[in-house]
Chains A and B, each alone.
Chain A
Amino acid sequence: MTKETQWPLWEVFLQKKFGVPFEHAGNVHAPDKEMALQNARDVYSRRNEATCIWVVPSEAIASSSPEDAGSFFDPANDKIYRHPNFYKTPGASFE
């Protein structure tokens, strides 16, 4: 039997066209970043789905936890004055 290797995991982000934000597409296994980019291209952009690809080591990503979403995002909850429709501007047009 040959030695098995579980290469590091890379998260793949695609930019669909120039100027728009990168969006998460999935992940690939690869031994290094060059191969991660090539694998990401072959797996996630066989039909010109991307103009640019980022690969990021999965272990480098920190995530907030969905279970604590309530308390984590709580600071924004009571600040409706951060939205323009909070303000009364009778008669005036802001279009």
Chain B
Amino acid sequence: MNQQELEKKFQDRIDKGEIIEPKDWMPEQYRKQLIRMMSQHAHSEVVGMLPEGNWITRAPSLRRKAVLLAKVQDEGGHGLYIYSGAETLDISREEMVGEFLSGKAKYSSIFNYPTLSWADMGAIGWLVDGAAIVNQTALAKCSYGPYARAMVRICKEENFHHKQGYEILATLMKGTKEQREMAQDSVSRFWWPSLMMFGPHDKDSPHSSDLLRWKVKLFSNDTLRQRFIDRTIPQAENIGIEIPDPALKWNEETRHYEHGEIDWNEFKNVISGRGICNKERMKARRKAHEDGAWVREAAEAYAQKKVSKAVAV
């Protein structure tokens, strides 16, 4: 079969809803786009441990501390599931981590915002994980098997992340005036960056059409963003949190909320490295990698020692 026939056959499989597995033939661009998406996603999970890790030692109770620790550990696990899936596309873990640590690879802009108060653990769980759930639930039906399966596993865990965050905010909203203000301040800071997590508007999204045609993406950025807004607003009303968007209103006809314009300049700045915490996050990741070097060396030396012992016997 020539290239054109192979591509036609591939697209037919996608259109029929078949799942592509690692050893199947796939267009080079499909493989490349998936590597880009999956490695960025994995890096985001890993960087995502930092803003919340910042509050583990200062959690207000042992219960909250255990919960936060478990959540952060889950995020590390999510990174590993996705790296493991991406490796089936003929890229090594070492190469992906290398591109991440060198600053060549991107990760989600949301993690370049600082976590200034305990309420941010609530806002992140509720809004950031909430947005991630909407994205990942769609990706769980994507055409690449290893990515889809990683997403199914992740979505199960995200529900806990989402609810514990909401619980933190709900509790604060029943507290003192200061606590309510702290919760509101946090949501006001995280609302717009959360909407940016879905990426540019459809008309400005460079990779979207290929990804939609290949069913790597099943819904456009704007569709998913709308889904997130529609399900989040009633939850906000339920605990009396205000959404910092004066243009927000319910449209009875479309049965959707309308929202104000997103500040895409801010988005571009954060993505291109000028966010509040970009430098700090990269520094922390590099330090963690270097500080772990002795553990990796020791584990390898131990494994080798056992091999040579076994040979000697």
How many angstroms from the CA of A63 to the CA of B88 in the assembled complex? 14
Alpha-carbon separation in the docked complex, A3 to B292 (Å): 12
In whole angstroms, what is the CA distance A67 to B243 when docked?
A: 52
Does B293 contact A2, Cβ atoms closer than 8 Å?
yes
Q: How far is the CA of A45 from the CA of B209 in the complex (A)?
A: 37
B1 to chain A minimum Cβ distance, whole angstroms, is 10
Contact of A43 among B23, B25, B77, B304 (CB under 8 A): B77
Pick from B30-38, B226-234, B294-302 the stretch touching chain A: B294-302
**Interface contact A27-B300, CB-CB below 8 Å:** no
- Give min CB distance, A50 to chain B, whole Å: 13
How would residues 1 to 17 of chain A score, 1 for a CB under 8 Å from any chain B CB and 0 otherwise?
01111110100000000
Q: Within the assembled complex, what's the spacing in Å between the Cα atoms of A64 and B84? A: 21
CB distance from B262 to the nearest CB of A (A): 35
- Which of A2, A3, A26, A47 has most chain B Cβ within 10 Å? A26
Contact B84 A28 (CB under 8 A): yes
Q: Which of chain A's residues have a CB closer than 8 A to the CB of B149?
A: 26
Q: Which residues in B have their C-beta under 8 angstroms from that of A4?
A: 94, 98
A31 contacts B87, C-beta separation under 8 Å:
no
Counting contact residues on chain A (CB < 8 A from B), the size range is 20 to 34
Question: Which single residue of chain A is at the shortest CB-CB distance from B301?
Answer: A31
Main secondary structure of the interface of A (DSSP, over half): loop
Q: A31-B300, A46-B74, A46-B77 are in contact. Are A6 and B93 (CB under 8 A)?
A: yes
Interface size of B by CB at 8 A reads 30
B85 at the interface (CB under 8 A from A): yes
| A27 engages B84 (CB within 8 Å) | yes
* Bound Cα distance from A94 to B52, whole angstroms: 62
Query: In the docked arrangement, what's the CA distance between A6 and B91, Å?
Result: 12
Please measure, in the bound complex, the distance between the C-alpha atom of A9 and the C-alpha atom of B87, giving whole angstroms: 10
Task: Tell me which of B77, B84, B98, B150 contacts A42 (CB under 8 A).
Answer: B77
A35 engages B299 (CB within 8 Å): yes
A5-B300 in contact (CB<8A): yes
CA of A42 to CA of B77, assembled, Å:
8
CB under 8 Å from chain A, chain B span 67-118:
70, 73-74, 77, 80-81, 84-85, 87, 92-94, 98
A residues less than 8 Å from B93 (CB atoms):
6, 29
Q: Given contacts A2-B293, A63-B23, A66-B21, is CB(A32)–CB(B85) below 8 Å?
A: no
When C-beta atoms are compared, the residue in chain A nearest to B81 turns out to be: A26
**Please, which residues of chain B bring their CB within 8 A of the CB of A30?**
299
Partner of B23, one of A5, A26, A46, A66: A66
Decide if A93 is an interface residue (CB 8 Å cutoff). no
In-complex Cβ contact of B150 among A26, A35, A66 (8 A)? A26
If the complex has contacts A46-B73, A65-B23, A67-B25, are A7 and B80 also in contact, measured as CB distance less than 8 A?
no
B24 within 8 A of A: yes
User: Which residue of chain A lies nearest to B299 when distances are taken between CB atoms in the complex?
Assistant: A31
A42 neighbours in B (Cβ, 8 Å): 77
Chain B residues in 8 Å Cβ range of A3: 293, 297
Give the residue name and chain of the A residue nearest to B296 (CB). Answer: A5
Complex interface: chain A residues within 8 A of B157 (CB): 47
Q: Does B253 contact A (CB under 8 A)?
A: no
Contact B25 A28 (CB under 8 A): no
A67 touching B80 by the CB < 8 A rule?
no
Complexed CA–CA distance, A7 and B299 (Å) = 10
Question: Contact: B303 with A35, CB < 8 Å?
Answer: yes
Interface residues of A (CB under 8 A from B): 2-7, 9, 26-32, 35, 42-43, 46-47, 63, 65-67
The 6 closest A-B pairs by CB, nearest first: A31-B303, A32-B303, A2-B293, A6-B94, A31-B300, A26-B84
